[in-house]
A and B are shown apart, each in its own frame.
Chain A
C-alpha cells in the first residue's frame, strides 16, 4: 500500500509462449491500471467510501468475530484443562498435557492417516472427473445445456446424511443389492461384508464422497473455464497447437485460480469428512477420521479438555492445508480473476 511502484511494466513479465501478443498487452495494461489506482493519494471521496464500507461491513464483521473467534478461543483455553463435563469440580489446569496425550497416541495418527488418505484420493479423482464434467457442461450445445447441468448437479443437491444412508444400504450385506449385482464378476465373493474391514469400507466411503461432491468441483471449474476467452484457444489452434497443447498451455494456466479454489475448498471439506463415516461405519474397523475422533471425545466421552485439544489440532491442520494450497498455486486470490483482467 505505502510503497509506490516505480516500474509499472508495459508488458507482463510472466506471459507464456503460447499466449498471443494481443492478450499479453491486454494483461499488462490491466495490471498497470490497477497499480496506478493503488498508488494515487487518497482523495476525500476514497476515504469516505472506505468509511462507509466499514459502517456497512462492521456489524457483520463483529458478528463474525463473535461467532467464530469466541468459540475458537474458548476451545483453545479448554484444551489446556483436564475437564470432564460430568465432573466440573475436578477441572484442573494441565498445560499442554492433552496435546502430549494426543500426539503420542496411535489412535490419533491412524485417524490422521485415514483422513489424509481420504483427502488425497477423493480430491484427486474429483478434480479429474470434475474437469471432464466441466468440459461437457461447457461444450454442451445450448439447447441441452440446462438439462446437462441439472443432471450433473443432482448428487450435490442431496443431503450428505441421506446420500450416506443410500450408499450404506446399497452395499450393506443384508439389504444391499451391490453384492447381488457383482456376483457374476469372477473372483468376487458375494458374501463380502463391505463394512467389516477398513479397505472395502473406505472404498465405499470415498466412492460416495466422490459421487456426491464431484459436481461441486466441476461447477467451480466450469466457472474458471468460462473465463478463458475462446480467442486464446483459437489463436493457439491457428498457430498449430493440438488439442492437448491447448489444454495444458492455454486453458489450464488461465484457470489456475479456479483450480486452486476448487482444490482448496474440496481439500478442506474432505479433511473434515464426518457424515458419511458416522452413518456407514461410525469409525469402526480402521475408518476413523479426525473429526469423528474429536466428536467422540468431546460429545461422546464428554472430555471437553481432550476433545478441544483434538479440535485445535484439526483446526491447525486445516489452516496448514489452506496455507500450502495458496502458496503452492501462487495465486493472489484478492486480485481474483486468476491474474487476468
Chain B
C-alpha cells in the first residue's frame, strides 16, 4: 500500500501514455528547460518535452548528435543545432524537413542572417530559434584618446593603429579553435571573398577562395596582429573567454566578441572582481570592416531547431518547435539567458532594451551577418584553417592563404591527414 503510493508520488504511476519528446539542448542557464516546461503545459497533454543536455563545446555536441543520427536513434525528436554543422546533417538526410505550414508560421520575421544559417541547398532544414553575432566592443577612454568617432564605420587597420600607438591589446581570438575560423571567415567575407567558392560541391570538387586578394588581406590582418604582439601575450591560446578577460584588464582597448561578454562583465563587477566604473567605459558598435567601402560581415552563431529523420513523433515535434520559437519565448530566452532572438519582433519588447542596451546593434548586425562556409565537410575545412592560421605570429600573407587552400583540397580528397 505504502509502496504503491510512493510509486505514484514518484511519477511512476500507470496510464500516462502522453508521447514524450526528447529535446537535445546545448548547455545554457536553464532557459531551454524552462521553455520545454512551458510548452509542455501549453500542449495540454498532447506531448511532454524532456530535455537532455549535450556536451559543452559545439564540436562535441556535433560528435554526439551525428553519431546518434547516423545510428538511426529514434529519440532525436528535437535538437538544438549549431548552424555550421547543419549541412553535414542535412546532406545525408538525417534531418526531417519542416512542413510548409511550420516554415511559414516560424519564419515570418526571421532576420536574414539567421535564416541563411538554417538553410541548405535553398531549403530550410531547421527552424531558427536564437541568433548570435559578434559586435565590436571598445573602451570609450581608448577610442576617445585616439580620436576615433565610433558612430562611424571602423576598419581593422584603424584598430591596429590605435593598439600600436597606445601600446594596448586587441581582444581577438587566435587560439587553434573554432573561434579562429569564425574570425577568418568574417575577415574574408568583409574583404569581398569567400573561403569556399562552391561550398555545396562534393568533397573532391570543392574550390577554395583563400588564394585571392580577399584571402591575402585577411591573412595580413591576422599576421600583423600576431607578429606585432597586438593581441596580447596569450593570443595563440586566446578564445572568446580569454579575449574578454584581456579586454576587461588594464590593457583592453577593442574586442570582437559575442554579446555574452556584457552580462558576464556586469556579473564580475557585481561580485567585486572588476572596478565598478568599468561598464560605463564599455561601448559597442558593428563589427569592424576590412576596408572603408565594404560592409562588415559579422560572424553568425546561434541555435536552430531540427527534427531527426528517425524520430517517431515528427508532427508533435514540429508543433512543439512552433511553441518554443514563438517571439514571446525568444524574448524571454534573451532576457533570462542572454541569447539574442532570431525573430525581428522579439527585439521590440521593452524588457529587452532594459537588459541589453546593445540590442539594436545586435539586430543590425544580424542582418549583415554571414554564415561560415555551408558545406557538409565543414569540420574538415574549419580544422584545416585552424591548423594553418594559428599561431597568428606564423601567418604569412604571401603564402599561408594559398597553402591552406591546397591543404583543404587535399584533405577533402582523402590525400592528407588532418
The interface of chain A, by Cβ under 8 A from chain B, is 82, 85-88, 101-102, 105, 107-108, 172-174, 191-193, 195-197, 281-282, 284-285, 293, 296-297, 299-302, 306
B70, B236, B242, B416: the one contacting A85 at CB < 8 Å is B70
Q: Which residue of B lies closest to A299 (CB)?
A: B63
Contact A285 B70 (CB under 8 A): no
**Bound complex: CA of A299 vs CA of B383, how far in Å?**
14
B33-59 contact mask (Cβ, 8 Å, vs A): 1 or 0: 000000000000000000000000001
Contact B59 A284 (CB under 8 A): no
> B166 — which chain A residues lie within 8 A by C-beta?
none
> A297 — which chain B residues lie within 8 A by C-beta?
417-418
Closest 6 CB pairs of A and B: A196-B236, A284-B176, A191-B233, A173-B234, A107-B417, A105-B417
B315 CB to nearest chain A CB (Å) = 26
Contact B246 A101 (CB under 8 A): no
The interface of chain B, by Cβ under 8 A from chain A, is 59, 63, 66-67, 70, 88-89, 91-92, 94, 175-177, 233-237, 242, 245-246, 376, 379-380, 383, 390-391, 414-418
Q: Which residue of B lies closest to A284 (CB)?
A: B176
Contact B246 A86 (CB under 8 A): no
Known A88-B70, A282-B176; judge A107-B63 contact (CB<8 A): no
Contact B416 A174 (CB under 8 A): no
**Bound complex: CA of A250 vs CA of B97, how far in Å?**
75
Q: Which residue of B lies closest to A280 (CB)?
A: B237
A101, A193, A195, A282: the one contacting B414 at CB < 8 Å is A101
> A101 — which chain B residues lie within 8 A by C-beta?
414-417
A86, A172, A196, A282: the one contacting B88 at CB < 8 Å is A86
A191, A196, A302: the one contacting B391 at CB < 8 Å is A196
Contact A300 B70 (CB under 8 A): no
Contact B236 A301 (CB under 8 A): no
Contact A306 B67 (CB under 8 A): no
B245 CB to nearest chain A CB (Å) = 5
Known: A102-B417, A191-B233, A296-B418. 9 other contacts (CB 8 A): A86-B89, A193-B234, A281-B176, A284-B176, A284-B237, A285-B390, A299-B63, A301-B380, A302-B66
**Bound complex: CA of A108 vs CA of B63, how far in Å?**
23
**Bound complex: CA of A306 vs CA of B242, how far in Å?**
35
> B390 — which chain A residues lie within 8 A by C-beta?
284-285
B234, B242, B376, B416: the one contacting A86 at CB < 8 Å is B376
Known A284-B176, A285-B176; judge A301-B237 contact (CB<8 A): no
> B383 — which chain A residues lie within 8 A by C-beta?
296, 300-301
**Bound complex: CA of A192 vs CA of B242, how far in Å?**
15
**Bound complex: CA of A295 vs CA of B387, how far in Å?**
16
Q: Can you list 9 residue pairs at the A/B interface with Cβ under 8 Å? A: A86-B376, A101-B416, A107-B418, A193-B236, A296-B418, A299-B67, A301-B418, A302-B66, A306-B414
Instruction: Tell me if A's interface is mostly helix, strand, loop or mixed.
Output: loop
Q: Which residue of A lies closest to B174 (CB)?
A: A196
Contact A300 B63 (CB under 8 A): yes
**Bound complex: CA of A86 vs CA of B234, how far in Å?**
37
**Bound complex: CA of A306 vs CA of B415, how far in Å?**
11
A198 CB to nearest chain B CB (Å) = 11
> B63 — which chain A residues lie within 8 A by C-beta?
299-300
Q: Which residue of A lies closest to B418 (CB)?
A: A301
> A293 — which chain B residues lie within 8 A by C-beta?
417
A241 CB to nearest chain B CB (Å) = 54
> B70 — which chain A residues lie within 8 A by C-beta?
85-86, 88, 302
A108, A174, A281, A299: the one contacting B417 at CB < 8 Å is A108
A86, A102, A284: the one contacting B66 at CB < 8 Å is A86
B319 CB to nearest chain A CB (Å) = 28
Q: Which residue of A lies closest to B249 (CB)?
A: A174
> A195 — which chain B residues lie within 8 A by C-beta?
236-237
> A108 — which chain B residues lie within 8 A by C-beta?
417
Contact A85 B380 (CB under 8 A): no
> B245 — which chain A residues lie within 8 A by C-beta?
174
> A281 — which chain B residues lie within 8 A by C-beta?
176
B261 CB to nearest chain A CB (Å) = 15
B221 CB to nearest chain A CB (Å) = 19
> A300 — which chain B residues lie within 8 A by C-beta?
59, 63, 379, 383
